[in-house]
Amino acid sequence: YKRITTKTLIEMKDNGEKISMLTAYDYTMAKIVDSSGVDVILVGDSASNVMAGHETTLPITLDQMIYHASSVIRAVERALVVVDLPFGSYQSDPKEALRSAIRIMKESGGHAVKLEGGSEIKDSIKRILHAGIPVMGHLGLTPQSIYKFGTYTVRAKEEAEAEKLLEDAKMLERIGCFAIVLEKIPAALAERVAKSISIPVIGIGAGNGVDGQVLVLHDMIGMTHEFSPRFLRRYMNLYEEMTTAISQYVTDVKAVDFPNENEQY
Ligand code: KIV
Ligand code: NA
């Protein structure tokens, strides 16, 4: 595929090709992620944690999301770029939701938006879809509602919550979302959802019975190291490698070993 679109992702599901998705929040990282062949880049509101050091995703603003998204867009040639609508930019009413989505599309050049929630925000999602803006749903663990749940533990283990999640997923498909993220739910439930709907289901902590996987880039390359949920596979320990390199630099500067004769004018 030369350029991934929302249609490409649905084709991938039809062909049984798994979808790869990672976050990026800036130009330099997005360039690496896009060049590596990742299908979907998510400008996640996890930037609130990863980039700004907040404890939750709640503080990040729409303006800050637009800044991150426009930086990512300048780097990307192939991937589909999805941008999270941050907390407070879509919950009041459908008009506010549409206004926020329009700002993201116009000011960042992103290709689609993602909103957390099911039936509660149905009208807002419909309004955005009617404006021609592709929407990715997000069910299961929804970090913008952390103060309602109190913990980041596995969701939808109880039958009632599982049934509501399945109904929400079917509703999101019916109103026209092009894909859904399922975060931290039992693998069997995630597989059941993926088999019940024709749009791609991208999982994080949702097992491998879904149509694709997403991780937070800084977690999978091991730049962050305080966060270790079971679902996270670390492909590098960049925290350690960077610390080693940077302390070597400090040592070299102190020892007047850097710069040497070839590294000066
Ligand atoms: O903000 C984010 O990084 C996300 C993913 C974890 C799905 O929403
Ligand atoms: Na998010």
Note the pLDDT tens digit of each residue in 19-47.
Answer: 999 999 999 999 999 999 999 999 999 99
- What is the number of the ligand 1 atom nearest to the C-alpha of 44? 1
Atom of ligand 1 lying closest to residue 21 CA: 7
**Residue 43, ligand 1, Cβ within 6 A:** no
pLDDT of amino acid 227? 84
Among candidate residues 225, 173, 233, the one with its CA nearest the CA of residue 208: 233
What angle separates helix 94-108 from helix 62-73, to the nearest 10 degrees? 30
Q: d(Cα 14, Cα 211) in Å, to the nearest integer?
A: 10
CA dist 183 and 235 (Å) reads 20
Mean per-residue pLDDT for 137-146?
98
Sign of CA dihedral 142, 143, 147, 153: positive
Whether 89 lines ligand 1, by a CB cut-off of 6 Å, is no
Fold for 6-234, please state it. Answer: TIM Barrel (3.20.20)
Q: Which two tokens stand for residue 87?
A: 């907390």
How far is the centre of ligand 2, averaged over its atoms, from the C-alpha of 238 (Å)?
23
Non-local CB neighbours of 179 within 8 Å, separated by 6+ positions:
6, 9, 19, 136, 137, 199, 200, 201, 202
Q: How many CB atoms lie within 10 A of CB 181?
A: 28
Short-list 108, 107, 64, 70, CA closest to 86: 64
CA 83 – CA 105 distance, rounded (Å): 9
> Are the C-beta atoms of residues 37 and 2 closer than 8 Å to each other?
no
> In angstroms, what is the span from residue 95 Cα to ligand 2's centroid?
21
Q: Indicate the average pLDDT of the chain.
A: 98
pLDDT score for 102:
98
CA distance 106 to 126: 19
pLDDT category, 88, cuts 50, 70, 90? very high
User: If you average pLDDT over residues 81-86, what whole number do you get?
Assistant: 99
What spacing in Å lies between the alpha carbon of 251 and ligand 2's midpoint? 39
- Predicted confidence at residue 225, as pLDDT, reads 87
What global pTM score does this model have? 0.98
Q: How far is the CA of 91 from the centre of ligand 1 (A)?
A: 18
Nearest CA to ligand 1 atom 4: 44
Residue whose token pair is 């993201």: 104
* Residue whose CB lies within 8 A of the most ligand 1 atoms, among 21, 22, 46, 215, for a mutation test: 46
- Chain segment 146-194, per-residue pLDDT in tens: 999 999 999 999 999 999 999 999 999 999 999 999 999 999 999 999 9
- Residue ranges covered by each domain of the chain: 6-234, 236-265
